[in-house]
Structure 1
Amino acid sequence: MSELFTVPARKGRAARLTKGQAIKIINTHGSQVCDTWAFSAEDLKEFLSVEHMRPTLGSIYPKKGQPLHTNRRRPILVLEEDTSPGIHDTLIAACDDYRYGLLGCKEYHDNCTDNLMAGMRQIGLTPPEVPSPVNLWMNIPVGADGATQWGEPVSKPGDYVVLRAAMDCIVAMSACPQDILPINGKQGVIHDVHYQILG
């Protein structure tokens, strides 16, 4: 078994993958959203881009076996395994301090934008921007009229995804600290998530 690493609740981490390696991201508690990014190791200006991925896949949900594309329309990761119902959001930008201000916070609130930056800094990198992430296990129902809702995750404890690197890349993750809306469950309790690097 490969080493099990922790993305602490409310925090971010990043990991380097060489082409052909994979990362297994585990929703240990079942209700935790994990914002997920990927950047080309060769050029951080090339990154997983949900707005480029959606038209290529023809769906707002990436499905098992499908590649996830960059802003240069190249595969960077492949969704190799997914034990959850497959509900992952690609519409909502990473939360930030401005977002929490709009939600009524008067003081600083942990957020996924800062978690991305902190996670990348831990491995000596600074991303040139904050792309919209793939929000693993985040449930954003879209109505026939285009209206969106803040749903609870439909995943269960131990659900995981395996993302296989199609190029040398850095995968960054944030255990989303959203505790005002119910996206991490009605109780608003934020949990850690875990990951392993697979050969």
Structure 2
Amino acid sequence: MHIKRSPEEIAANRARYEEHQKKGLEFAPKALPGKSPMPAPEIAADTILHREIIPGGWYWWTRVKTNETLRISLDQGFSTLALVAWNAADTSERLNLPDTVKLQWTTGLGKGRVIFSDMGKVMFSIVEDSSGAHDCLMGGSTEASNTAKYGDIITRNARDNFVIAATKLGLDKRDLPAALSLFAPVRVDADGKFFWNPALLSGADYIELRAEMDMIVAFSNCPHPLDPSPSYAPNPVTVTRLKAETPAADDLCRTATAEAVRGFENNAFAQA
């Protein structure tokens, strides 16, 4: 049932939210840095565990160990890569974007931010990021969104790709969390509507995600529903898995916000 709220109630709710947000942000111990430099620095060959090039329209999944890093890079032109993740030891624990947004008071994910699970633990730290153009609100494409955009031509979509990946992992579509879409410059305008802001992209963008627990990560390389291109033509995306390195005690992602500090405390408690 839809409940219509008065302008006064909406304004009061917004003021209450902004007050909580202000308190949360003021408690942040460190200022977050800007975007990572372009072009992406070269990766030392002896740190590479695996490199996968995901063709346009396709999916891939991999296991990652704690402190390994995934560099996801647009080496062959623009594409949006969606991802979902599960705790490898207990797949009932999974990526949780609503909590990631609420706990950090922002939908803007970039260097220094973390990505939470649905159990209040940190799954990923964003250790490098050249764009900050990632969508944690809309999720990926579906058969319906592709049909509405491209017509009756046969195209692959993120939802079906993730269902296939989950099935191969012994999971079910009910085990799928909302997907994070990387390199999808989705923002919200003053009227609360989603829009695509290509100015946030730099070209051959990249992001590096450090695993904060052992995980299974699935990717889907399909156009985002808001991608303005009229053609279904996603470019290949490179995913490089790098050897684990123990973070420093003052690691930015572990200390930049009070919420991240609590999340890492939960990680440590679970491992004790």
With normalisation by structure 2, the TM-score equals 0.65
Give the percent of matched residue pairs that are identical in Structure 1 and Structure 2.
Answer: 23
Of 66, 69, 75, the residue aligned with 1:19 is 66
Match of 2:240 in 1: 196
Q: Does 1:86 align with 2:142?
A: no
Would the alpha carbon gap of residues 135 and 16 (structure 1) be closer, same or farther in structure 2, given more than 3 Å must change? same
Q: Equivalents in 2 of 1:95, 1:169: separation in Å? A: 23
Q: Equivalents in 1 of 2:226, 2:241: separation in Å? A: 31
Note the C-alpha offset of 1:158.
Answer: 3.3
Q: Does 1:5 align with 2:52?
A: yes
Match of 1:71 in 2: 118
**What is the root-mean-square deviation of aligned Cα atoms in Å?**
2.3
* Residue-pair matches, total: 195
Cα shift readout 1:146-171 (whole Å, capped 9, x = no counterpart)? 12113437434432111111111011
Helix, strand or coil at the partner of 2:66? coil
Note the C-alpha offset of 1:175.
Answer: 0.9
Q: Does 1:45 align with 2:89?
A: no
Which one-letter code corresponds to 2:142 in the other structure? Answer: D
Q: Is the 8 A contact 1:29 1:193 kept in 2?
A: yes
Gaps of 5+ in 1: none
User: What is the 5 A alignment of 1:21-170?
Assistant: 21-82=68-129, 84-103=130-149, 105-106=151-152, 108-121=154-167, 124-127=169-172, 128-152=174-198, 154-170=200-216
With normalisation by structure 1, the TM-score equals 0.86
Cα shift readout 1:79-114 (whole Å, capped 9, x = no counterpart)? 1111x2211111112211132344463354310012
Would the alpha carbon gap of residues 129 and 198 (structure 1) be closer, same or farther in structure 2, given more than 3 Å must change? same
Higher helix proportion:
2
Q: Is the 8 A contact 1:142 1:148 kept in 2?
A: yes
Helix, strand or coil at the partner of 1:44? strand
Match of 2:41 in 1: none
Ranked by relative contact order (alpha carbons within 8 Å, sequence separation 6 or more), the top structure is 1
Q: Equivalents in 1 of 2:69, 2:81: separation in Å? A: 17
Gaps of 5+ in 2: 1-44, 244-272
